[in-house]
Structure 1
Amino acid sequence: MTTIELYPDDVHNQRTIRQGHPSDWVNREGGDYDLVVLGGGPGGLVAAMTAAAGGHRVAMTEQRLTGGTCVNFGCTPSKALIRCARAVHDASRGVEFGFRLDAPPQTDFGSVMDRVRRMRSLSSSGDAVEVVEQAGAEVYLGHTRFTAPNTVEVEGRLLRFRKAVIATGSDPVMPPIEGLRTGEYLTNETVFSLTELPARLVVIGSGPLGCELAQAFRRLGSEVDLVSHSRTLLPNDEPEVGELIGRRFEQEGLRLHLGFTAVRAGAGRLLVQGPDGTRELPYDALLIATGRKANVEHLDLGAAGVHVARDGVEVDEYLCTSNPDVYAVGDATFPQKFTHAAMATARLCIANALDGAHRPARELVIPHCTYTDPEVAEVGLTPRRARDEGVAIDAYRLELAKVERAFIDGEEEGFGAIYTRSGSGEIAGATLVAAHAGEMISELTLAITNQVPLEALANTVHCYPTQAEVFQRIALQYAGPQSVAVAH
């Protein structure tokens, strides 16, 4: 069976391992199942526990830690680190709020990372092997592979299934950099093992992970260089979003190298090439954050007759693979590689595979949020997507500086925008840049999912003062003076 190690070997990591991959676990002998789920991350857990709650006999397999990347190497530890960094940053802003510190706040990085590991162990308790078993799914730990269209093997145990779900997640993508050797760089799977703050950190990648951790480490005290072949931060979001976050980063002292490609690394130096020549960046730690790829290479999918596309397992709109008895969810197949997308596709997949729901994945309205400061959240049809799809939209926008709670809190940097299908009040999408955008975007997700028109948003009473008022005020721009709601 796979041996799991987390560094450092402290009480928090020991607890995480005990919960997610007990060393004394003994797999059952195998057998026949209504459903076998490959992968114990968010998608796999939801699929297994939903099916078990429906009365089906379910097995879930996991090679590493239950909870997957999200709990162990992604969402939970990264947000714990970001929260510590934000606390340090807020303390440094005392003059704005009428108080002074005798000295600038000093980071105890060891204590920061101890808290990160403690938060991870607390989070992983909800995804523990024991919890899955209590929910009615039988857990098998170890390497899993298909041996036939309706059979998988886990550490010598054969599991025969009526239906199966591939939920094996994704792995970091490594860029082709000369001299880059395993163990000489960090990824999301190793960065949270740090016990000492890197004096000089170079981050390669300007997507959500790269931006979030670059800002967090800068606030904790590292000198940070961020390198990206893209000419903007967060290139999958609206261009003005990346420009706004870039300005904030530079204000906080991050050095941005946009439009540059990393070509050679070694001996604490990274050589990058860009539009104005080459630059050499010294580093004590190098973090690779250049995207993710589906983790399916080890599954022997050919034995099951499952086709693989460039971006992962090939599925139809109902999440079914080329094998009618095998489905796939989350990062293993879905282009939107978010925890909540994995969970949503898992619920949909079980409804289709076991209950005959026949619901297409395009019905899902999936928001996303990048947890920089300010946060960036988007949902639905944004101008970039509308152009790509040839859809005409109207945009209604308001700067956050015009919302009282935002400037009262000193969080006025940002904006809200709602997009409607051209000539109508049908809400098609939204962009929000705000301190707590991730907490606020669900109102627009709910509206789009349930086809709530913009007039209804204008007529919805919001607490005053709140930053969420930005949505009502934008809606009032559309509804006009005939609306019964009154903006402050």
Structure 2
Amino acid sequence: MTTIELCPDDVHNRRTIHQGHPPDWVNRDGGDYDVVVVGGGPAGLTAATTAAAGGHRVAMTEQRLTGGTCVNFGCTPSKALIRCARAVHDAGRGAELGFRLDAPPRTDFGAVMERVRRMRSMSSAGDAVQMAEEAGVEVYLGHTRFTAPNAVEVDGRPLRFRKAVIATGSEPVVPAIDGLRTGEYLTNETVFALTEQPSRLVVIGSGPQACELAQAFRRLGSEVDLVSHPTTLLSQDEPEAGELIRRRFEQEGIRLHLGFTAVRAGAGRLLALGPGGTRELPYDALLLATGRKANVEHLNLDAAGVHDAGDGVAVDAYLRTANPDIYAAGDATFPLKYTHAANATARLCIANALDAAHRPARDLVIPHCTYTDPEVAEVGLTPRRARDEGVAIDTYRLDLTKVERAFIDGEDEGFGAIHTRSGSGEIAGATLVATHAGEMISELTLAITNRLTLEALADTVHCYPTQAEVFQRIALQARPQRVAAAH
């Protein structure tokens, strides 16, 4: 049976382990199931508990910790770290709000990381093995591999199934850098084990994870260099959003090396090659945040007649694999690697597999948010996606400087943009850069899901003063333009 370790060995990490992979756990002997779910992260837990709630006999297997990356190495610990970093940053802005500290705020990094571990242990309680069992799921812990089109084996225990869902998540991509050896770098799976703050941190990457952690460590007091082969930050989002974050990072003292490629690392020095030559960057810690890849290599997929597409399990529009009895959900197959996408695709798998729902994954409206400060959130069709898909859209935009609550709070760096299908006013997408963008984007997600128009948004009463008013103001501002266009 797999032994799970989390560093440091403290009460919080021991609690997380006992909840997500009890050391004294004894698997059942195996058996026949309506559904076997391979993987106990967000997608796996959602698929398993949804199927169990429908009265089906369900087994769920997990090699490491239930809750997966999100609870243990991703969403929960990273947001706990970001919250501490934001508190330190806000305390340093006291003069703007009429108070002064006797000295600049100082970070107790040990206390910050102790809180991160405590938050993780609290969050993991909701995804614990015992919680899954109480929901009617029979849990098997250990390495899982397919042995036949309708069977898996978990550490020698045979499980036969009528339907199965592959939900094994993803793992960090480790780029090929000359001289870099295992154990000499951090990823999201090891960075939260730190107990001493690195005075000099080099981050490789420019996506959400890289940007979130670079800003958090800078605010906590580390010197931070960010190295990125792309010449922009958050290159999957609208360019204006990435440019705004770039300016904020430079204001906060993050040294950006955009357009540079890490070519050699070791002995506390990174060599990066880019425009105009090379740069040598000293570091106490090196964080790799260059993306994630589906974790499906050790499943023996061939035995089940399931194909590995190279970027995850190959599925059709309904998340069904080449084996019609096996589906896949979450990071193991879906390009949008977010917890909420994992949950949504897991529910869809169960509906299609057990209820013949025949719903395609393309119908899902999935927002995303990068939790920098300000946050960057998008949903639906953006100008870039619209161009790629050949869809004509109209864009209506407003700076947060025009929203009272934003400038009252000193949080007016950002903007909102709503994208509608040309000629109809139907809301098709949105981009929002705001301190609380992740909390605000759901209104537009609901609008897109229900095919609402700008007129519906304009007529919806919003509390005043709130930053969420930005959406209604955009809709009201667009009304005269749309009336004129109609005539």
Establish whether TM, by shorter chain, passes 0.5. Answer: yes
3-state secondary structure, aligned to 1:476: helix
- For 2:104 and 2:251, the matched residues in 1 are separated by 17
The code of the aligned residue for 1:277 comes to: G
Specify the SS of the correspondent of 1:299. Answer: coil
Kindly indicate whether the alpha-carbon contact (under 8 Å) linking 1:36 and 1:58 is maintained by their aligned counterparts in 2: yes
**1:84 equivalent in structure 2:** 84
Equivalent positions of 1:425-464 (< 5 A) are 425-464=425-464
Question: Counterpart amino acid of 1:14?
Answer: R
SS in 2 for 1:309: coil
Aligned residue in 1 for 2:475 = 475
Deviation at 1:453, TM superposition (A): 0.8
Give the corresponding residue for 2:127.
Answer: 127
Match of 1:404 in 2: 404
After alignment, is 192-201 or 304-313 more displaced?
304-313
Partners of 1:412 and 1:362 lie apart in 2 by 34
Deviation at residue 447 of structure 1 after TM alignment: 0.1
The equivalent residue for 2:373 is 373
> Quick one: distance in 2 between partners of 1:68 and 1:336?
16
Letter in 2 for 1:424: S
Q: Distance in 2 between matches of 1:411 and 1:346?
A: 36
1:172/1:292 contact within 8 Å kept: yes
Alpha-carbon contact 1:146-1:300 (below 8 Å) kept: yes
Partner of 1:253: 253
Indicate the larger mover: 416-425 or 120-129. 416-425
The equivalent of 1:287 in structure 2 is: 287
Q: Which runs of 5+ in 2 are unaligned?
A: none
Give the Å deviation of 1:482.
10
1:347-374 per-position Cα deviation (integer Å, ceiling 9, x unaligned): 0110000111110101100000000000
Deviation at 1:387, TM superposition (A): 1.1
Separation in 1, partners of 2:155, 2:481 = 68
Give the whole-Å Cα distance in 2 for the aligned partners of 1:220 and 1:174. Answer: 26
CA distance in 1, matches of 2:118, 2:182: 27
**Cα separation, 2, equivalents of 1:481 and 1:430:** 18
Please give the secondary structure, in 1, of the residue aligned with 2:345: helix
How far off is 1:390 after superposition? 1.3
Q: Which runs of 5+ in 1 are unaligned?
A: 484-488
Q: Which amino acid aligns with 1:309?
A: A
**Hey, what does 1:333 align to over in structure 2?**
333
Query: Who is 1:192 aligned against?
Result: 192
Residue 159 (structure 1) aligns with: 159
Alignment partners' CA distance in 2, 1:230 and 1:238: 14
Deviation string, structure 1 residues 236-290 (Cα, Å, up to 9, x no partner): 0001111100000000000000000000001000000001110000000000000
Question: Contact 1:425 / 1:453 at 8 angstroms: preserved in 2?
Answer: yes
- Is the partner of 1:308 in helix, strand or coil? coil
- Determine whether 1:269 maps to 2:269: yes
Question: What's the counterpart of residue 389 of structure 1?
Answer: 389
Q: What one-letter code is carried by the residue in structure 1 that aligns with 2:477?
A: Q
**Residues 1:141 and 1:386: Cα distance change in structure 2 (over 3 Å):** same
Specify the SS of the correspondent of 1:27: coil
**Alignment correspondent of 1:312:** 312
Question: Which secondary structure does the structure 1 equivalent of 2:417 belong to?
Answer: strand
The 5-angstrom pairing of residues 59-208 of structure 1 reads 59-208=59-208
Does residue 58 (structure 1) correspond to residue 52 (structure 2)? The answer is: no
Aligned partners of 2:203 and 2:136: how far apart in 1?
43
**Could you tell me how far apart the structure 2 residues matched to 1:373 and 1:108 are?**
21
One-letter amino acid of the counterpart of residue 438, structure 2: G
CA distance in 1, matches of 2:299, 2:181: 26
2:206 counterpart SS class = coil
1:194 offset after TM fit, Å? 0.1
Q: Counterpart of 1:427 in structure 2: which amino acid?
A: I
Deviation at 1:84, TM superposition (A): 0.1
Query: Aligned to 1:431, what secondary structure does the other structure show?
Result: strand
Summarize deviations over 1:35-65 as a string: whole Å, max 9, x none.
Answer: 0000000000000000000000000000000
Instruction: Give the counterpart letter for 1:2 in structure 2.
Output: T
Query: 1:410 aligns to what SS in structure 2?
Result: coil
Partner of 1:301: 301
- State the distance in 1 between where 2:276 and 2:454 align: 47
Cα distance between partner residues in 1 of 2:478 and 2:325 = 48
- Paired residue secondary structure (1:145): strand
Counterpart code for 1:207: G
Query: Counterpart of 1:357 in 2: which secondary structure?
Result: coil
**Is the 8 Å Cα contact of residues 174 and 290 (structure 1) preserved in structure 2?**
yes
Aligned to 1:486: none
State which drifts further: 474-483 or 391-400.
474-483
CA contact (8 A) 1:455 1:478 kept: no
State the Cα deviation string for residues 316-374 of structure 1 (Å, max 9, x = none).
Answer: 01000000000000000000000000000000110000111110101100000000000
Q: How far is the alpha carbon of 1:304 from its aligned partner?
A: 0.3
Shift in CA distance, 3/392, structure 1 to aligned 2, threshold 3 Å: same
Residue in structure 2 matched with residue 231 of structure 1 by the alignment: 231
- Give the partner amino acid of 1:118: R
Aligned partners of 1:336, 1:262: CA distance in 2, in Å? 26
SS at match of 1:152: strand
- Are 1:49 and 2:49 matched, yes or no? yes
Count of paired positions: 483
- Asked if structure 2 preserves the Cα contact closer than 8 Å seen for 1:327 and 1:353, the reply is yes
Is 1:243–2:250 an aligned residue pair?
no
- Mapped to 1, the partners of 2:8 and 2:133 lie a distance apart of 28
Per-residue deviation at 1:129? 0.3
Distance in 2 separating the partners of 1:276 and 1:226: 17
Counterpart CA distance in 2 for 1:318 and 1:458 is 35
The separation in 2 between residues aligned to 1:201 and 1:18, in whole angstroms, is 32
C-alpha deviation, 1:422, in angstroms: 1.2
Query: What is the letter of the counterpart of residue 225 of structure 1?
Result: D
- Secondary structure of the corresponding residue to residue 79 of structure 1: helix
Shift of 1:389: 1.1
1:13 is the counterpart of 2:24 = no
Write the deviation string for residues 143-191 of structure 1: whole angstroms up to 9, x where unpaired: 0000000000001000000000000000000111001100000000000
Counterpart residue number, 2:219: 219
Distance 1:73 1:439 in 2: 22
Shift of 1:481: 9.3
Instruction: State the identity as a percent.
Output: 84
Give me the whole-angstrom Cα distance separating, in 1, the residues matched to 2:294 and 2:52: 26
Does the CA-based 8 Å contact 1:169-1:331 persist in structure 2?
A: yes
Secondary structure of the structure 1 residue equivalent to 2:31: strand
For residue 424 of structure 1, report the CA deviation from its aligned partner.
1.9
Q: Quick one: which amino acid aligns to residue 81 of structure 1? A: L
Between the aligned partners of 2:391 and 2:482, the Cα distance in structure 1 is 28
